[in-house]
Structure 1
Amino acid sequence: MRGQARALGAVLAGARDENRAALIGYFPAGFPTLEGGIRAVTAMVEGGCDIIEIGLPHSDPVLDGPVIQTADDIALRGGIRISGVLRTVREVRAATGVPVLVMTYWNPVDRYGPERFAAELAEAGGAGCILPDLPVEESEAWRKAAERHGLATVFVVAPSSKDARIADITAAGSGFVYAASLMGVTGTRESVGRDAAELVGRVRGTPELPVCVGLGVSDARQAAEVAAFADGVIVGSAFVQRLLDHPDDEAAGLAALRSLAAELASGTRR
């Protein structure tokens, strides 16, 4: 894997060398506005995020909980399109220098054209794509386009995934494996779930890719819990909620994002 995907691997390896997990922050493009979303993600990196996932808002986000659904709805009503998602990737990458991935359902990419999407994402400086609903058996066309353009393809595994399925996913994927800490939709929770550590252990039994855990992490204690066994800690809803809490005061919202990122980053240092 070349290009920005290589930079993604370098960041994950660098965090491991520092005896910590990487902090990966998710945020949907276009929320609360296109420019406001870019400023929000930049603040997350300033607070301590090592890697960024930019969400491509979808009208039917079946895997997302109410917090991200609310942000997606605001972004869609504001007119966000794939061009705006790619602009967000480009500007965040240029402003921060951290690896930036897009997290999206497959349908928008399929309609846009996998080759076109991969080419434009690479041109924008993207490191890869996370595709939670693309079956690995149907992913060959995308994976070939991604490889041509130096992009990582990140697949998602869940506690319900069988060992054979995990082996197929890790063999086909690149960049890292996204391990969902529990069954259900995105959102903050009191506990990350006991199944997460077992799932990471099962993934590590296959050809080696870094394993990053998401769904449910919202504070330093939970980040530390995950960092004890994973290569990366993925946080999304907690960041989005901080901005939802400050709808009329952007400065306060950005400060809250920086503060949360700093708190989470402290937790990732095992």
Structure 2
Amino acid sequence: MTESTRGTSTAFEKARADGRAALAGYLPAGFPDVGGGIDALRAMVEAGCDVIEVGLPYSDPVMDGPTIQAAAQQALDRGVRTTDVLRTVEAVAATGTPTVVMTYWNPVERYGVDRFARDLAAAGGAGLITPDVTPDADPLWPAAADAHGLDKVYLVAPSSTDERIAMTTAACRGFVYATAVMGVTGARATTSELAGPLVARTKAAIARQHHDLAVGVGLGVSNGDQAAEVASYADGVIVGSAFVRALLDHPDDLAAGLRALTTLTEDLAEGVRRA
């Protein structure tokens, strides 16, 4: 199998046909615990997420801000393992929503690259986002992903040269992740003025390559108004820290956390449609 039958491109195509951007939501697996995390991600699907990103908690999350670090540490303290991540993917993918794993590269290497690709595909996963690995530094994942029909999602940033953007988009399948805020992850009060130009440069590179690749933007979106702004120029709006915060704010009441998560998702889903 060389093309994913469960890939994220289907979600972006459907959103485009509806005249809107797609909404992608992130939570780390095992937060607040494995079962609660699955319930949370399913609630996000029901409330309007088109793509789900399941984080693989890691002990050295150098690119994550304090909100996601706190959630990942909570999952690690509870003993979450890669097998729990895959179990979470399987449960969410069963809803029919394309589900990808977002992870630092070290846990994949430790697990075994081809084994990880095989087990992710078997769980119904759509692919992998690798924020700390670039296509030219990653000889093993492209072959494993191709062998198992998985999306390959790499990142571009405002600091990326046009040459690096071209190299990255050529290597992606599913979508390309435009991280439009320099620094660690986290919800922000305003969107970045760097996002629009980055998306324009990325789309220009994709057009020159004559292939149809969606551009999803992650830059700390935390409400529907911000989502609408980003959706006006991007194919997808990626939200992480705001979802995590909705659960962190209700540490002893999962039901209240799920209600907050649903309310936030509905607001964001309305935002991507408004644009």
Q: TM-score, normalised by structure 2?
A: 0.96
Q: Is the 8 A contact 2:63 2:183 kept in 1?
A: yes
What do the CA deviations read for 1:238-257 (whole angstroms, capped 9, x no partner)? 00000011111111110111
Q: 1:219 aligns with which of 223, 230, 233?
A: 223
- Aligned-partner Cα distance in 2 for 1:266–1:135: 33
- Does residue 76 of structure 1 match 2:76? yes
Residue pairs, 1:150-169, within 5 angstroms:
150-169=149-168
- Paired letter, 2:244: V
Q: Is the 8 A contact 2:101 2:125 kept in 1?
A: yes
Q: Is the 8 A contact 1:5 1:175 kept in 2?
A: no
- Residue number in structure 2 paired with 1:243: 247
- Does residue 256 of structure 1 match 2:260? yes
- Aligned-partner Cα distance in 1 for 2:146–2:257: 37
Q: Is the 8 A contact 1:159 1:195 kept in 2?
A: yes
RMSD (Å) for aligned C-alpha atoms: 0.9
Unaligned runs of 5+ in 1: none
Q: How many residues align?
A: 268
Secondary structure of the equivalent of 1:26?
strand
- Residue number in structure 2 paired with 1:123: 122
- Aligned-partner Cα distance in 2 for 1:213–1:4: 23
What do the CA deviations read for 1:30-79 (whole angstroms, capped 9, x no partner)? 00101110001011111110110000000010000000000000000000
Unaligned runs of 5+ in 2: 207-211
Q: Is the 8 A contact 2:192 2:219 kept in 1?
A: no
Secondary structure of the equivalent of 1:161?
coil
Q: Is the 8 A contact 1:159 1:181 kept in 2?
A: yes
- Aligned-partner Cα distance in 2 for 1:179–1:41: 23
- Does residue 16 of structure 1 match 2:6? no
- Residue number in structure 2 paired with 1:2: 3
- Residue number in structure 2 paired with 1:202: 201
Instruction: Quickly say closer, same or farther: Cα 1:5–1:158, change in 2 above 3 A.
Output: farther
Residue pairs, 1:55-134, within 5 angstroms:
55-94=55-94, 96-134=95-133
- Does residue 146 of structure 1 match 2:145? yes
- Residue number in structure 1 paired with 2:234: 230
Secondary structure of the equivalent of 1:20?
coil
- Paired letter, 2:15: A
Deviation (angstroms), 1:199: 0.1
Secondary structure of the equivalent of 1:52?
strand
Q: TM-score, normalised by structure 1?
A: 0.97
Secondary structure of the equivalent of 1:206?
helix
Instruction: Quickly say closer, same or farther: Cα 1:60–1:4, change in 2 above 3 A.
Output: farther
- Paired letter, 2:34: L
- Residue number in structure 1 paired with 2:35: 35
- Paired letter, 2:17: D
Deviates more, 1:200-209 or 1:27-36: 200-209
- Aligned-partner Cα distance in 2 for 1:184–1:240: 18
What do the CA deviations read for 1:195-231 (whole angstroms, capped 9, x no partner)? 1000000001113410000021000111001000000
Deviation (angstroms), 1:135: 2.1
Q: Is the 8 A contact 2:4 2:151 kept in 1?
A: no
Q: Is the 8 A contact 2:175 2:216 kept in 1?
A: yes
- Aligned-partner Cα distance in 2 for 1:239–1:89: 17
